[in-house]
Structure 1
Amino acid sequence: MNVSLQQLKVFVAVARERSFTRAAREFDLTQSAVSRCVRELEEAVELKLFDRTTRQVELTNAGASLERRIGRLLDEIDLTLREERATFDGHTGVVVVASNPVLSSGWVAQGLAVCAAAFPGLIVSVRDQPQSSVLASVEQGEVDFGLVSSVEPPDSDLLHAQAIFTTPLHAVLPSAHALARQSNVAWTRLSESPIVTLNADAGVRAALELALSSNGMKRRPMQELGHVAAVLRMVELGLGVGVLPVDARWPGLSAGLVGRPLVPEMNLTTWLVHRRNRSLRPNASAVWAQFAAAAAPSHEDAAMSSHVGSATPLHVAAVSSHSSAAMSSPATGAQSAASSEFTRSATLRGGAALHEP
């Protein structure tokens, strides 16, 4: 039996209107085309569906029975298709994003808040993972996209990356520290104190090692921690000089600490990453666009960033990293909005197992 959806729709319209002419207007067809469509349906099901006269069209018993059942089926098909379109048009559904712990506890939460305010019907679930696991999850299709921080784009031929903002590395010091009286701190001055920083999970260590080698300093033992709050606490207790990305998008410094730009400047870039040559689902693309737009610097960001580098300490409570999930929602629009796009060719190194809290 070869029956088309169009034949069924035309049949239901003729049954409802009791007229081939009115049904033809509904589908913008000729009356003869509607008659042919119904005749082909009758031949396919081997049933007479209408009694036709020159003055009226009436359903046969078989036609009436079929009309009731087919009408319900067509309504269900229409509802199903509309619901599916709504799921993938960027307004509903679930988008899964992976992020390194420091971004999750700071800037990502701000991005989620922007999405939630604009599109409350979309759920954005954040997986808080070490940076290598974020990249592995994106490559393996376990998440829609990820956020990582590094000096260069992720070194993988499977990933496409878009830079959304850069953050300069700062020396973080107690306000009474001798170096705190300077407007900036040379990298070579770090040889005078132990270094306290974030571990590889946040992408800071690689940037720090590059800066040290670029300034002719040998790699040295350093305290590497998983949480910004832990780094700040050790610095507060005089256990070393902290090296952290510091601006309005990253977790702020606690009272009694100051950030001084390290010179020559070394920036840590935050990247949105997704599978190369694979389009994002519309709702994921909308969240990507929201994140990119939310990362664009504002006047307030600029003011706060300059405040960090001034002689006055930035009094903002530090936030420890944690996993998060939030309600948010899509915007319509393309996946660009802030900064240039990059793709890199190489092989991903270190595909750690996915970790969730």
Structure 2
Amino acid sequence: MNVSLQQLKVFVAVARERSFTRAAREFDLTQSAISRCVRELEDAVELKLFDRTTRQVELTNAGASLERRIARLLDEIELTLLEERAAYDGHTGVVLFASNPVLSTGWVPRALAQCASVYPELVVSVKDQPQCSVLASVEQGEVDFGAVCVTAPVDSPLLHAQVLFTTPLHAVLPSVHPLAQDDSIEWHALRDCPLITLNADTGVRAALEPVLAANELKRRPMQELGHVAAVARMVELGLGVGVLPVDAHWPSPGASLVSRPLVPEATLTTVLVHRRNRSLRPNAAAAWAQFVASTTGHAEEVPAAAFDRCAASQPHNVLLKELHDGYPVRPQAT
């Protein structure tokens, strides 16, 4: 059966108007073209749909039954197309974005505010997930794009990434702590301190592991928590020294604590990721641009195939590797 959408629209118009002439005006066609379209539909479905006389056009029983169903289906198709068109105008609709919960309490709200100020009718729905789940959701098309924190940008056959910002790791401690008197703290100075940091779901573990090993801190007692506030509270209560990413993009540890940069420097990089070789919908592309604009404005494209080492702590099979030309991802041991 070869039936076109145009034939069905013409049939519904003739059934509604009970006139080939009035239906022809609606489609800006000749009456003979409308008659031919209806005749071709009748031939295709092998049913007589209208009883025609010189004075009137009436639906047959089969035509009346078909008209009730087809009219409703055409309305649903039109509504679906209108919704899709709205999603593709770049200024309205819903964009799905995935992020780990720590980013969602730091930089992400500012990105959302930036987007809302430019596109007030565009809704960005945030999905909080562990880091590996963010990458999987982007790969599988469950969200439009996502943000992850890595020791190097993301590269895989399915993902494209753009660097947003790089954050150094700091020691976080009470102002009365002996180490707080220094402008910076060397890693080996933490050998006698219990450490408190963020867990693998935030991407911090991958940044910590090489520097802990290089400074003989691998076997230190270490608490790993899911939120900056939880780390800060434990530090406030004297349970250890915090190790956190600290800059304007991350949640502040709090006014009761101080932070000191750790040397040699270890960093964590935040990137946006979307499906490689698949264009973002225009409204998602508009949101992506505003997320980039909400950072320092120095975002750069990640070169393809720039990495060659898997991160051992990453449960997902996405490659996380060192950028060869100057990307500050691995601390240098002294």
Gapped regions of structure 2 (runs ≥ 5): 318-334
CA positional deviation for 1:189: 4.2
Q: C-alpha deviations, 1:86-116, integer Å up to 9, x for none?
A: 4676634573x44333223333344445556
Structure 1 Cα separation of the partners of residues 59 and 273 of structure 2 = 60
Once superposed, what is the RMSD of the aligned Cα atoms? 3.9
Structure 1 Cα separation of the partners of residues 276 and 72 of structure 2 = 43
| 1:76–1:206 Cα change, 3 Å | closer
| 1:205–1:8 Cα change, 3 Å | closer
Contact 1:159–1:343 (8 Å) recurs in 2: no
Trace 1:1-357 onto structure 2 (pairs within 5 A). Answer: 2-13=2-13, 16=17, 18=19, 20=21, 23-24=23-24, 26-30=26-30, 32-44=32-44, 45-52=47-54, 58-62=56-60, 65=64, 69=68, 70-86=70-86, 91-92=92-93, 95=96, 97-112=97-112, 118-119=119-120, 122=123, 124-129=125-130, 131-141=131-141, 143-154=143-154, 156-191=156-191, 193-211=193-211, 217-220=215-218, 221-226=220-225, 227-280=227-280, 284-285=284-285, 287-294=287-294, 296-297=295-296, 338-344=299-305, 350-351=315-316
Q: C-alpha deviations, 1:106-134, integer Å up to 9, x for none?
A: 333444455567556746242332x3343
Alignment partner of 1:126: what SS? strand
Contact 1:153–1:343 (8 Å) recurs in 2: no
| 1:50–1:161 Cα change, 3 Å | same
| 1:144–1:224 Cα change, 3 Å | farther
AA in 2 matched with 1:147? A
Alignment partner of 1:247: what SS? coil
Contact 1:98–1:134 (8 Å) recurs in 2: yes
CA positional deviation for 1:23: 4.6
Contact 2:49–2:59 (8 Å) recurs in 1: no
AA in 2 matched with 1:269? T
| 1:172–1:29 Cα change, 3 Å | same
Alignment partner of 1:168: what SS? strand
How many residues align? The count is 304
CA positional deviation for 1:149: 0.8
AA in 2 matched with 1:350? P
CA positional deviation for 1:252: 0.8
CA positional deviation for 1:297: 3.0
AA in 1 matched with 2:270? T
Structure 1 Cα separation of the partners of residues 147 and 107 of structure 2 = 10
Deviates most, 39-48 or 343-352 = 343-352
AA in 1 matched with 2:48? E
CA positional deviation for 1:191: 4.6
Q: C-alpha deviations, 1:155-197, integer Å up to 9, x for none?
A: 6443322222222222223223344344434445445645432
Contact 2:20–2:31 (8 Å) recurs in 1: no
| 1:255–1:93 Cα change, 3 Å | closer
Gapped regions of structure 1 (runs ≥ 5): 299-336, 353-357
Contact 2:18–2:56 (8 Å) recurs in 1: no
Structure 2 Cα separation of the partners of residues 142 and 13 of structure 1 = 39
Structure 2 Cα separation of the partners of residues 76 and 212 of structure 1 = 59
Q: C-alpha deviations, 1:293-351, integer Å up to 9, x for none?
A: 33x238xxxxxxxxxxxxxxxxxxxxxxxxxxxxxxxxxxxxxx943245557778524
Contact 2:155–2:161 (8 Å) recurs in 1: no
TM (norm. structure 2) is 0.70
Query: Which residue of structure 2 lines up, in the alignment, with residue 332 of structure 1?
Result: none
Alignment partner of 2:163: what SS? strand
Structure 2 Cα separation of the partners of residues 222 and 76 of structure 1 = 61
CA positional deviation for 1:26: 4.2
Deviates most, 42-51 or 262-271 = 42-51
Query: Which residue of structure 1 lines up, in the alignment, with residue 321 of structure 2?
Result: none
Contact 1:112–1:124 (8 Å) recurs in 2: no
CA positional deviation for 1:269: 0.9
Contact 2:3–2:41 (8 Å) recurs in 1: yes
Q: C-alpha deviations, 1:270-308, integer Å up to 9, x for none?
A: 1223343445556655544443333x238xxxxxxxxxx
| 1:123–1:273 Cα change, 3 Å | closer
TM (norm. structure 1) is 0.67
* Percent of residue pairs identical: 59
AA in 2 matched with 1:62? T
CA positional deviation for 1:9: 2.3
Contact 2:148–2:272 (8 Å) recurs in 1: yes
Structure 1 Cα separation of the partners of residues 228 and 200 of structure 2 = 13
Contact 2:228–2:253 (8 Å) recurs in 1: no
Alignment partner of 1:60: what SS? strand
CA positional deviation for 1:25: 5.3
AA in 2 matched with 1:169? L
Structure 1 Cα separation of the partners of residues 193 and 155 of structure 2 = 32
Query: Which residue of structure 1 lines up, in the alignment, with residue 328 of structure 2?
Result: none
